Amino acid sequence: MQRSDRSNRFSSEGSNDSGQVSQKNKGRSPTQAAAVSGAMTAVWMMLQMALPSAPALAQTRQESLSYSDLLERIEDRQVKRIEIDSARGVARVELEGESADTALQEVTLFAGDRNSELIEAARDQGVTIDVQPTASNNVVTSLMIHGLLAFLLIMGLLMILRRSSNASGQAMNFGKSKARFQMEAKTGVMFDDVAGIEEAKEELQEVVTFLKKPERFTAVGAKIPKGVLLVGPPGTGKTLLAKAIAGEAGVPFFSISGSEFVEMFVGVGASRVRDLFKKAKENAPCIIFIDEIDAVGRQRGAGIGGGNDEREQTLNQLLTEMDGFEGNTGIIIIAATNRPDVLDSALLRPGRFDRQVSVDPPDIKGRLEVLEVHARNKKISQEVSLEAIARRTPGFTGADLANLLNEAAILTARRRKEAITMLEIDDAVDRVVAGMEGTPLVDSKSKRLIAYHELGHAIVGTLLKAHDPVQKVTLIPRGQAQGLTWFTPNEEQGLISRSQLMARITGALGGRAAEHVIFGDAEVTTGAGNDLQQVTNMARQMVTRFGMSDLGPLSLESQQGEVFLGRDWMSRSEYSDEIAARIDAQVRAIVEHCYDDARRIIRDNRAVIDRLVDLLIEKETIDGEEFRQIVAEYAEVPEKEQYVPQL
């Protein structure tokens, strides 16, 4: 019973110790926790090895003889053999008649030479005496504990040394480049996967050929370009092009973001630039891709009080590495930005970024190619025409088109359909452009007023020859708008005539004009707030930038962006107060003229507007073709000049 009780106690204590170890390991690193756990496991195993003799020892001591009893049994010739363990100070006694399996009884001896009486009595009676010294359990346990302490001390010192070495290594690596390096960049993107930007692909194809077959160009004395700057709006595919170059070239590829150069400590960015180019020179020929280079390449000396010293030092080091005293033979730097106006002029000179490749939004042919690329892994119904989607999405970038098809796929899955149909495509276009669909309006005075407002835009835009044709009119709320009128803009938006601008201003004022004519001046609402902002902006640009007013062909205002690092903080007027007053008068005259035209069109077509309002309230959406057919019954609809692209 005692042995089982003690073993149970030991097992429970072991479980508690392991629980404490797990609590202590919280907050440690994985290496430290593993070391501590291993050490405690070693302790437990050694204790298990040392402690099993304790129960047996207790049992033998229950049946042990006293010193005097032993002498009496020797005299009575009941003792067969005595084993003396001098290290422990005990004598193990084997009595006559006991079997070999019986445990020997232990007798505690006196210290020193006071046991001579026992030895003489045993010798007189012919008892066999053996001296067999064994190591004491206490001594063994003591040695184990001391060895364990030494082991733990050594492990602690090793962990401290490792931590200090890691800290020193991090301090030494603080100025190292964070560029991701691939010996052969297997990005999974090739030029065949990039569509809609053929001109940019042709420019960059030469860079790939330079890297693969430089002798073709060096034979005629051509030098490899040092830098290529990809410039374009967000989402046009600049980073995708860099991945395609890496996949096509098959040379070492370094990729890093411009923001990873700049730190709060002065000199770190320059150190990282030096380290990056050092690694690149060791692996030349190679490509370095810097995404969002405007984070580090902004104009120097443009800030109030001298600017950011750390950023300027980083830029200076980048300029030196690209085309400095030593040069960087065999290294091509590709950078991407959507803000070329803020870059330092030293970056853009020949010898650094030799080429600037414009990555513009695709035209209708490019959009069709992009849609074909993104439609490869989607289930699209046979009735869906990618060409029709490309015609409907002028101004969309590659990222917009990818998002469009993804939204259509999400709607298809939500509606539990097996393939994407034109209904999901139309809803996805509306969602991408205007926002999520809201709750339809109930039939009320507010809904009727919104219907007149939207039909005011549509009827004016339809009856003006220079205006874009109507695509659809809807009362379904999207985003912040309670109703929407969609126009299909002409593909050729590079040059806009004065008549087109006047038509757009008149069409934008059609909603306010309908409210004024139908409900009166007292019932005019705030729904035209955004329209009036657009109208004022277009009219002011006609006067101050395009020379389309009585002031003559003068450009009175430059197209300036936002204030950048203090540059143009104190903006000065480019004209006198007299000219400013005349500009305001011209803007007002243009807007009033267009507003009068819009009200005239609304009054002349009141009957068709009333019919269309009833139809719109009933159906909530009227398609552009149906809308034009109804208007043609009441008025002559001018034939629009449509751009027919060659696909």
d(CA 321, CA 556): 42
Residues 6+ apart with CB under 8 A from 553: 547
Residue 275 identity (one-letter amino acid): D
> Which DSSP string do the residues of 222-258 spell out, in sequence order?
----SEEEEE--TTSSHHHHHHHHHHHH-S-EEEEEG
Tokens of 319: 């300029």
Tokens of 336: 């991407």
Cα–Cα nearest to 460, from 522, 521, 502, 519: 502
Chain position carrying tokens 């090793």? 158
Cα–Cα nearest to 184, from 266, 93, 246, 104: 246
* Contact of 49 with 148, CB cutoff 8 Å: no
Tokens of 138: 């206490």
User: Which residue pairs from 115-122 have beta carbons closer than 8 angstroms and sit at least 24 positions apart in sequence?
Assistant: 117/71, 118/67, 118/70, 118/71, 118/74, 118/91, 121/71, 121/74, 121/75, 122/74, 122/79, 122/82
Query: Does 454 qualify as catalytic in the annotation?
Result: yes
d(CA 324, CA 268): 20
Tokens of 21: 């170890």
d(CA 412, CA 420): 6
Tokens of 113: 């030479």
The catalytically annotated residue of 63, 454, 625, 633 is 454
Is cis: bond before 285, omega within 30 of 0?
yes
DSSP H helix total and E strand total for the chain: 23, 13
Tokens of 173: 């690596």
d(CA 410, CA 426): 13
Cα-based angle 310, 314, 318 (whole degrees, multiple of 5):
170
Total Cβ atoms within 10 A of residue 449: 21
> How would you class 68 by CB atoms within 10 Å of its CB: exposed for 0-12, middle for 13-18, buried for 19 or more?
exposed
d(CA 632, CA 628): 6
Cα–Cα nearest to 232, from 103, 104, 361: 361
Cα 488 → chain centroid: 35
Q: What is the chain's length?
A: 647
Tokens of 608: 């068709």
DSSP-derived secondary structure letter, 585: H
Just list the catalytic residues: 454
